[in-house]
Chain A
Amino acid sequence: MEKVIETQDLTKAYGKGNTEVRAVDGVSLVIERGEFTAIVGPSGSGKTTLLQLIGGLDKATSGKVLLAGTAISDMSGRALSDFRRDHIGFIFQAYNLIPVLTAQENAEYVMLLQKRDKKERRARVQSILEKVGLQGLEHRRPAQLSGGQHQRVAVARALASGPDIILADEPTANLDSTTGADLVDMMKTFNEESHMTFVFSTHDPKIMSRAKRLITLEDGKIISDVRQN
């Protein structure tokens, strides 16, 4: 199977000497294309930091991150921004959407950055918004959408640009359990249909059970890595 994410002894430390805190401590892992992986652990275990390092949102203190064979840990500036734009889809915990853009415009946003043709953008976004169950709500702004609908738009945006990987940092944290479960089920459906790689963090046991692979972090280290049916 193709390696799509690989980290090599990845470390992120804050402070120095006696006050140093390692949010991520020597994490080495490989995630293959098409995996549906949950990174779990208690608060402060380093889940968000690991996802941010994988997504190039933060710089590692040491170690490497390779995405689809490209060492993004060596990138910076415009090259890194462009790589994120073209290869990574993000779903954040909350306030994912740009408040002044409609649902459709939010979903199109990354494709706008990619300077895709308007017709192509519109057609693709329309199709994906239907798939996530938001047809008819395209012209609403985030303030007019529920929390669950927000996250659906975020999923649509992440999928629309056709990335290699989708990283979701506790996407269900601000949702009720039913809505959260529905969201993860939707992501799983997309994973199975499009073979797109999903990596998300959670501490919700109901959500964990839907993942095919569970990587457990504690104090910045991987303490277990299991595949489940």
Chain B
Amino acid sequence: MDRITIRLAFRNILRNKRRTGLMVLLVSSGLAALILTDGLATGMIDLMIRKVTDTWLGEAQLHAPEFRETFDGVHYLKDPSSLTAILDAELGVRTYTARTMSGGMVASSNNVTPAAIIGVEPGREANVSRLKEALIEGQYLSDDNPSDILIGYKMAELLEVRLGDRIVTTSSEVEGGELSQALFRVSGILKFNDRLLDKEMAYISLAAGQKISGIGDGVHEIAIRFHADANEQEVLDRLSQKFTTEEVEFLGWRELMPDLASVLSVNSFSTLIVGGILFTLVSLGLINSMFMSIYERHYEFGVMLGLGTRRRLLFSLVCWEGAFIGLFGAIIGSVIGGAIVYWLSQTGISFGEAEMSGIMLNEPIKTIARAQQFILFPVFVVILAGLACIIPAIHGARLTPSDALRRAI
């Protein structure tokens, strides 16, 4: 493209600084809003995934087939050591923990409530889930104290118990269905800020859990965490290939939480939709301003056409003017958007006790900056600004010299 066109376009947008300033503000506001929206959506997705995987689920789990369909304790992993050996050999796996699960009742002297009684390996569990972090009173579990039990604060309120109080669990053994009762001492109170975990689950040591379930050395679940820098999908694929027997079911968190996975995949379009709406509005504003600019320059365009300027040059001139406005808007919008995203990445936005797809978003959502916000989005803005000016550019290029020159000065 001729340098004269670019030179003219750049100088033309500086002619009416107020109008150009307003158009740049429009574009930059749109881009900043889009960057913020994407940062917030990404932050929310990240929070939801972390909530799910950090709190309890892990990135993947192993179960006996049919366990997840029925949650019947009779479906348990009989030889967990062979499975953990495979996990130990996988570089992408950071840690794992084994769990037992029994459905039953938990009773105090004041009340009784149904509960899932979870047996955990205290040391490993602390590195897989947030069980230890959730402790608000008392002591965490240890293998040395098999009679200790941790309960959520809502369960404690329901049972009217405090630290040191005794509670009885009642469940049935998997073989034979005999009722199994065990006495525990409340050693710690938990607060996950999750309704299910705080009210309906109680935690004991793995050995105690295996005992009340009557499953010997077996476990019901192995929860797995990957290294933070591991490629999640690659690790999942490798482990899937290793756990191919019919005696074990290996599932990633997306398969464990299919509703969440659906929400997240839909969420990825949200930025696209918001961007589409925002920039339709921005484009309309640009088109309007550019038309005004051209109407004011009818005579000048007539002179240029009269001198032999090709219509294509006038068309390009107007599009380049739009592109320059887009460029300035993109730079300013990126700075503003980046500053807001950075600030909110530190402070976060609190949505109170919001719940989405069964996940409590009860901590501030912190925005996350991504490369595409500062590379892809600004490039699109510049291109879009240029394209938005096509209609006014066509109008300008189609002027006849005599009509344009006849315009009263």
- A84 near B307 with CB under 8 A, answer yes
- A90 near B307 with CB under 8 A, answer yes
- B12 near A85 with CB under 8 A, answer no
- A99 near B4 with CB under 8 A, answer no
Residues of B within 8 A of A99 (CB): 15, 300
Residues of B within 8 A of A100 (CB): 8, 11-12, 14-15
Q: Does residue B315 face the partner (Cβ distance < 8 Å to A)?
A: no
Residues of B within 8 A of A96 (CB): 303
Q: Does residue B242 face the partner (Cβ distance < 8 Å to A)?
A: no
Q: Does residue A113 face the partner (Cβ distance < 8 Å to B)?
A: yes
- Give per-residue flags for A90-121: 1 if the beta carbon is below 8 A from chain B beta carbons, else 0: 10101111111100000001101100000000
The CB with the most chain A CB atoms within 10 A, among B302, B310, B405, is that of: B405
Identity of the chain A residue whose Cβ is nearest the Cβ of B308 in the assembled complex: A85
- A81 near B305 with CB under 8 A, answer yes
- A113 near B405 with CB under 8 A, answer no
Q: Does residue B211 face the partner (Cβ distance < 8 Å to A)?
A: no
Q: Does residue B309 face the partner (Cβ distance < 8 Å to A)?
A: yes
The CB with the most chain A CB atoms within 10 A, among B14, B307, B402, B405, is that of: B307
Identity of the chain A residue whose Cβ is nearest the Cβ of B8 in the assembled complex: A100
- A55 near B306 with CB under 8 A, answer yes
Q: Does residue B240 face the partner (Cβ distance < 8 Å to A)?
A: no
Residues of B within 8 A of A83 (CB): 308
Identity of the chain A residue whose Cβ is nearest the Cβ of B5 in the assembled complex: A112
- B11 near A52 with CB under 8 A, answer no
Q: Does residue A78 face the partner (Cβ distance < 8 Å to B)?
A: yes
- Choose from A58, A78, A85 the contact partner of B402 (Cβ within 8 Å): A58
Q: Does residue A57 face the partner (Cβ distance < 8 Å to B)?
A: yes
Q: Does residue B266 face the partner (Cβ distance < 8 Å to A)?
A: no
Complex Cα distance A203/B401, Å? 23
Complex Cα distance A90/B405, Å? 12
- A95 near B300 with CB under 8 A, answer yes
Complex Cα distance A86/B310, Å? 12
- Give per-residue flags for A197-229: 1 if the beta carbon is below 8 A from chain B beta carbons, else 0: 000000000000000000000000000000000
Complex Cα distance A92/B304, Å? 11
Contact residues of A between 36 and 50, Cβ < 8 Å to B? 49
Report the minimum CB–CB distance from A145 to chain B (whole Å): 16
Contact residues of B: prevailing secondary structure: helix
Report the minimum CB–CB distance from A82 to chain B (whole Å): 7
- A82 near B400 with CB under 8 A, answer no
Complex Cα distance A110/B401, Å? 16
Residues of B within 8 A of A90 (CB): 303, 306-307
- B299 near A95 with CB under 8 A, answer yes
Number of interface residues of A (CB under 8 A): 29
Residues of B within 8 A of A98 (CB): 8, 300, 303-304
Indicate whether A57 sits within 8 Å of B402 (C-beta atoms), given known contacts A81-B310, A113-B309. Answer: yes
Report the minimum CB–CB distance from A97 to chain B (whole Å): 8
Complex Cα distance A84/B401, Å? 12
Complex Cα distance A110/B409, Å? 24
Complex Cα distance A82/B313, Å? 12
Identity of the chain A residue whose Cβ is nearest the Cβ of B309 in the assembled complex: A113
- B303 near A52 with CB under 8 A, answer no
Q: Does residue B311 face the partner (Cβ distance < 8 Å to A)?
A: yes
Residues of A within 8 A of B405 (CB): 52, 57, 92
Complex Cα distance A148/B168, Å? 106
Complex Cα distance A49/B406, Å? 10
- Choose from B8, B300, B402 the contact partner of A52 (Cβ within 8 Å): B402
Complex Cα distance A78/B397, Å? 12
Contact residues of B between 270 and 310, Cβ < 8 Å to A? 299-300, 302-310
- Give per-residue flags for A50-92: 1 if the beta carbon is below 8 A from chain B beta carbons, else 0: 0010010110000000000000000001100111111010101
- B307 near A85 with CB under 8 A, answer yes
Residues of A within 8 A of B307 (CB): 84-85, 90, 109-110, 113, 157
Report the minimum CB–CB distance from B12 to chain A (whole Å): 6
Complex Cα distance A214/B251, Å? 97
B-to-A contact residues, CB < 8 Å: 2, 4, 8, 11-12, 14-15, 299-300, 302-311, 313, 400-402, 405, 409
Q: List 16 A-B contacts (CB under 8 A).
A: A52-B401, A57-B305, A57-B400, A57-B401, A81-B308, A82-B308, A85-B308, A88-B308, A90-B306, A92-B303, A92-B405, A94-B409, A95-B300, A98-B300, A98-B304, A100-B8
Which 6 interchain pairs have the tightest Cβ spacing? Answer: A85-B308, A100-B11, A58-B402, A57-B401, A84-B308, A57-B402
Q: A99-B15, A101-B8, A109-B307 are known contacts; what are 8 more A-B pairs with Cβ within 8 Å?
A: A81-B308, A81-B311, A82-B308, A85-B308, A92-B303, A98-B8, A100-B8, A100-B12
